Structure 1
Amino acid sequence: MSWLRIAFGTLLLATNTVLHVPPLLLVAVVKAILPLRPIRRACDWLLMAIAASWIGINTTLIRWFTSTRLVIDIDARLQPDGHYLVLSNHQTWVDIPMLQAALNRRVPLLRFFLKSQLFWVPLLGLAWWALDFPFMKRYSRQQLEKRPELAGRDIEATRRACAKFMHIPVSVMNFVEGTRFTPAKHQQQASPFTYLLKPKAGGIAFVLDAMGRALHSILDVTIVYPDGRPTMIDLFANRVREVRVKIRERPIPAELLGGDYQNDPVFRERVQGWLNDLWREKDGLIAELRTA
């Protein structure tokens, strides 16, 4: 019967997407062709309301179709109209619906930096565009060797995206490890952490540089699956017993603002050192949550 549960649940999620994306696109087009400030503000409010409804219904469907227990521990004073940098570990695609379930309507819409190829995902790509998700084009080492001027384009794309976020409530989401955790990647990296890959500081530094003091704080999110890393199929087959999410609010250290991450090695080392300390603390927290 699990295949029937998976098929029906997927169908309902797809139907929810089909119902929500056209209104998103309509509002986004109005916002684009009528760039008057009152209209743009009204459109931004409508876009966030539609997105919150979409996520809320997805969360309800997951609760209906599974007995997964989501345990959320929040040590933060969350504001739905705030400006946050959200940092999290990353193990599986299940992380995204769990993050959305934990934070929807508590903070502004989570916005991820996406690979440019994802723009072409049917319906979802257009929805992400309508919601101002930043699309980043990644270049291979060979491409950069042939055309060194491409090296700074992802930084400029980050700055353009953050310039938009300065004027609307936002939660800028960053999976700091840059990829999902697997034992093979952990071994290949020779990661010094037990449950985490090595964190990458560049994305955080660029967001802090672009948005500066417009950000209220950092939301440090830790996701733990006590029974092991699940897939989305595991979730809909009702094989995920429990998910634990710990959310802690942290002030943005003043020493991480106003530096030049690209060209100042002292500042770069400072940011990387702060992030490594955070990751060591998170590694210990994961050990505690796995056995709680």
Structure 2
Amino acid sequence: MLVSLPSVLRIPLAMLLLFLNVVLHVLPLIALALLKVVVPLGFVRRPLSRVLVLIAESWIGFNNVLFKLFTRVRWQVEGLDGLRRDGNYLVLSNHQSWVDIPVLQKVFNRRIPFMRFFLKQQLIWVPLLGPAWWALDFPFMKRYSRQTLLRHPELQGKDREATKRACEKFQHMPVAVMNFAEGTRFTQVKHDAQSSPYQYLLRPKAGGVSFVLDAMGKALHAIVDVTIVYPEGPCTLMDLIAGRVHDIRVHVRERPIDAGLIGSYDEDAAFRGRVKAWMNTLWVDKDAQIARMRTATDAASTGH
């Protein structure tokens, strides 16, 4: 019924309910997180961490219900068999839009451990969401540009140390660490500026992936390789809320973690070359997967 409302009523109502869902879940998140800080005892912090994850999964679950009520998205998701809630995964995905995040949350909520994203340090100041991400142990990272490192060589390796510290807290809990290996959302302008060798992807950044693999070590069980396609083209969160996104395709593939992928990315040039070659091969496969998914959806839309 709600999806049939006129857009002038449907969109404000959907946004209001999404905002109320944020408030109702974020306030207890922050309260419990502060309690975890005030009482820094392991036997208190561990159960509180589990409760925080349950609240976050409830938050995502209600978001999914709202999107189902207010939109008519046709989903095609492949490859979820065999994933475990008690596993530890590195989740890799292509990145096209902020819609990717609710898509990943819908697909994986309560199927694998609660996903944590690496976030830019300044995002901690986002009202409501920033404190919620902090409460849920999302790792906040401060990345340094090549120009900054040239001016301040003493900062070399600081991002790696921060990654290790962020991952240390995940050693004793089931976790899925999410990484958009392209480092930014795909646009044709960025693609052309990079002279990307891939048709549908930007060049992957192997360093961030390598740092997580090195920091988590044998705690990770597998890599979850995710490919997302929007057959109608680029879209925004407002497009999703307004019901202008009608088709979403997601392909999931679980990949083993080769022992040869764990090592010192900064200090070993030969190892760095192997990781880059592995990432490039993965991206060639992903580019081909996107082409297949686009061809399949194009054929479906034309009735072939």
Q: TM-score, normalised by structure 1?
A: 0.96
How far, CA to CA, are the matches of 2:47 and 2:34 in structure 1? 13
Aligned pairs for 1:85-164 within 5 A: 85-164=90-169
Q: Which of 275, 283, 286 is equivalent to 1:279? A: 283
How far apart are residue 76 of structure 1 and its match?
4.1
User: 2:50 corresponds to which residue?
Assistant: 45
User: Residues 75, 52 of structure 1: CA spacing in aligned structure 2 closer, same or farther, 3 A cutoff?
Assistant: closer
How far apart are residue 58 of structure 1 and its match?
0.6
How far, CA to CA, are the matches of 1:3 and 1:233 in structure 2? 13
Q: Which of 265, 283, 287 is equivalent to 1:261? A: 265
User: 2:242 corresponds to which residue?
Assistant: 237
Q: Is the counterpart of residue 22 in structure 1 residue 27 in structure 2?
A: yes
User: 2:67 corresponds to which residue?
Assistant: 62
How far apart are residue 261 of structure 1 and its match?
0.5
Query: 2:121 corresponds to which letter in structure 1?
Result: S
Indicate conservation of the 8 Å contact 2:144/2:159, yes or no. no
Q: Is the counterpart of residue 288 in structure 1 residue 296 in structure 2?
A: no
How far, CA to CA, are the matches of 1:70 and 1:122 in structure 2? 31
How far, CA to CA, are the matches of 1:43 and 1:119 in structure 2? 21
Farther-moved stretch of structure 1 (22-31 vs 57-66): 22-31
How far, CA to CA, are the matches of 1:239 and 1:22 in structure 2? 31
Secondary structure of 2:83's counterpart equals coil
How far apart are residue 43 of structure 1 and its match?
0.6
Farther-moved stretch of structure 1 (35-44 vs 95-104): 35-44
Indicate conservation of the 8 Å contact 2:93/2:226, yes or no. yes
Indicate conservation of the 8 Å contact 1:93/1:231, yes or no. yes
Percent sequence identity over matched residues? Answer: 60
Secondary structure of 1:165's counterpart equals coil
How far apart are residue 141 of structure 1 and its match?
4.0
User: Structure 1: which 5+ residue stretches go unaligned?
Assistant: none
User: 1:212 corresponds to which residue?
Assistant: 217
User: Residues 3, 178 of structure 1: CA spacing in aligned structure 2 closer, same or farther, 3 A cutoff?
Assistant: farther
How far, CA to CA, are the matches of 2:84 and 2:35 in structure 1? 28
How far apart are residue 144 of structure 1 and its match?
2.6
CA distances 1:18-74 after superposition (whole Å, capped 9, x unpaired): 000111112112222222222122111101100000000011101111001122112
